[in-house]
Amino acid sequence: VSHNDHAVIVVGGGIGGLGTALALARSGVPVHLLERAPEFSEVGAGIQMGPNAIRALDHLGVLDSIYETAVFPQRGVISDATTGERLTTIDFQAPMIARFGYPYVVLHRNDVLTTLLEACRAHPLVTLENDREVDEVIDEGDRMRIVCKNGVELTAGLVVGADGINSRVRRLVTNDEPVFSGHIAYRGAMPIELVPSAADVDEVQLWVGPGLHLIQYPVRRGELYNQVAVFESRRYAEGRDDWGTPDELVEAFAGTCEAVRAVIPRQAEERAYPNYDKDPIDSFVANRAVLIGDAAHPMLQYLGQGACQALEDGLVLAAVLGGDPDDVASLGEYDALRVPRTTKCQRVARPWGKSWHTGDEAFKGFRDRYFRGRASDDFSEVAWLYEDVFQSLGERMAGVQVGGNR
């Protein structure tokens, strides 16, 4: 065995890759992780984590560290971005904890990444390498050969593709391309003092209107305020080149109520992210390669589940392997557990976004009447996302030190 041969190589050190490396290490498997960037880092914006992600972080043994910077909003509020009417609220604390065992939490992305990174660095079975961009992964039967951009080659008994929506590892499974939604997100977190409307730090605000929405919530112990303004680009639909620009953002939000419109000029200074997903696929496995996170099932952000599902992926992978990374037969079980669930996320996220952005008066009438009538502790629409997917793995989750070392 040369020093370039590893039991497991994880390609990509985002939230999914670091979470998976940690899960595997905690199950007794040595892991080597390759990240193309010179440093581990995340987008300078917030992230929402449903109870299923918090449960996963608990299984990874990092909940205390996560809770040090997290914000625990009392509720989510959905309002009409045009009229300002509060349509409905959803409880994020006591009723959610009573039902799912964990709260709904909002965080800064870098705080999540830092927690996972520190846990990986502290674990004797994890080694991390930056400046390693994987160019190609070659299936050699009983080994996988990884060719990096600078010519370095490594081999592994198992390759985990955690390299995001433009995954190289995914090419072993399919050569599909990202699908552009035509939606653009301007997002970023700023000091909370700069946001006059941020008085109520107990709420995650979602404002919905025709072809647009705005999300607002505090992060990092309430020191920063995260805002995400999303619109469906008309210019893109018309085939123009100047789509997604700050002035199109301002134009798109021109008809919104004062509370929404007021934050848009500042938001236009943030970075723009065009939103892509992919169509679901039947398998995340090719011999000794397996995909997790956005490499496996990139989805639109409307369910707030992309990273949550990535964390679940890593833990389920570790549990089915049961400490033996050579047990490639068990990857079939990984597929069986993860493909249907994440396919549903991908499929539901698209119309979920459409329901926020509807300009159809009839549909909007039904939607709003439903919103106004529902109780704040009615979790009917999201229960399937927040339920415990680890339960079916029973004893095998214990091998990943369930809730251990807290």
Closest CB to ligand FAD among 12 and 244? 12
Number of shown-chain residues binding ligand FAD (CB under 6 A)? 34
Dist CA 357 CA 149 (whole Å): 41
Closest CB to ligand FAD among 115 and 275? 275
CB of 346 to ligand FAD, least distance (A): 11
User: By CB under 6 A, is residue 314 in contact with ligand FAD?
Assistant: no
In the block, residue with structure tokens 């069986």: 336
Choosing from 33, 47, 81, 137, the residue that interacts with ligand FAD (CB under 6 A) is: 47
User: By CB under 6 A, is residue 8 in contact with ligand FAD?
Assistant: no
User: By CB under 6 A, is residue 48 in contact with ligand FAD?
Assistant: yes
CB of 135 to ligand FAD, least distance (A): 7
User: By CB under 6 A, is residue 13 in contact with ligand FAD?
Assistant: yes
Closest CB to ligand FAD among 218 and 396? 218
Query: How many CB atoms sit inside 10 A of residue 362's CB?
Result: 8
Q: Active site residue: 102, 186, 217, 302, which one? A: 217
Task: Answer yes or no: 217 catalytic.
Answer: yes
Residue 316's alpha-carbon distances to 98, 248, 312, in angstroms, are: 24, 42, 6
Structure-token pair, residue 402: 């369930």
Choosing from 10, 12, 91, 189, the residue that interacts with ligand FAD (CB under 6 A) is: 12
Touching ligand FAD, residues 119-178 (CB under 6 A): 133-134, 162-164, 168
Long-range contacts of 350-356 (CB under 8 A, 24+ apart): 350/181, 350/277, 350/300, 350/302, 352/300, 352/302, 352/303, 353/181, 353/183, 353/300, 353/302, 356/206, 356/208, 356/213, 356/302
CA angle, residues 228, 231, 232, in degrees to nearest 5: 150
User: By CB under 6 A, is residue 353 in contact with ligand FAD?
Assistant: no
CB of 349 to ligand FAD, least distance (A): 10
| β-pair partners for 404 | none
Residue 49 half-sphere exposure toward CB, CA atoms < 13 A: 31
Phi then psi for 35, rounded to 5 degrees? -125, 130
Is the Cβ–Cβ distance between 163 and 134 less than 8 Å? Answer: yes
User: By CB under 6 A, is residue 293 in contact with ligand FAD?
Assistant: yes
Residue 345 corresponds to which amino acid?
Answer: C
> Which stretch, 32-40, 74-82, 84-92, 337-345, contacts ligand FAD (CB under 6 A)?
32-40
User: By CB under 6 A, is residue 56 in contact with ligand FAD?
Assistant: no
Residue whose C-alpha is closest to residue 225's, from 215, 233, 235: 215
Closest CB to ligand FAD among 109 and 288? 109
User: By CB under 6 A, is residue 218 in contact with ligand FAD?
Assistant: no
CB of 373 to ligand FAD, least distance (A): 26
CB of 219 to ligand FAD, least distance (A): 11
CB of 227 to ligand FAD, least distance (A): 11
Residue 82's alpha-carbon distances to 187, 217, 251, 306, in angstroms, are: 20, 20, 14, 28
Q: Which residues contact 5 (CB under 8 A, 6 or more apart)?
A: 143, 154, 155, 156
Start-end of H helices in 127-257: 234-237, 246-252
Closest CB to ligand FAD among 76 and 293? 293
User: By CB under 6 A, is residue 263 in contact with ligand FAD?
Assistant: no
Phi then psi for 305, rounded to 5 degrees? -125, -5
CA angle, residues 334, 337, 343, in degrees to nearest 5: 110
Dist CA 385 CA 311 (whole Å): 13
> Which stretch, 7-15, 23-31, 91-99, 198-206, contacts ligand FAD (CB under 6 A)?
7-15
User: By CB under 6 A, is residue 116 in contact with ligand FAD?
Assistant: no
Residue whose C-alpha is closest to residue 123's, from 42, 28, 15: 28
Choosing from 66, 198, 308, 317, the residue that interacts with ligand FAD (CB under 6 A) is: 308
CB of 308 to ligand FAD, least distance (A): 4
Choosing from 57, 310, 345, 393, the residue that interacts with ligand FAD (CB under 6 A) is: 310
Residues acting as catalytic residues? 217
Interface residues with ligand FAD (CB under 6 A)? 11-17, 34-37, 47-48, 133-134, 162-164, 168, 185, 187, 228, 273, 275, 293-295, 301, 304-308, 310
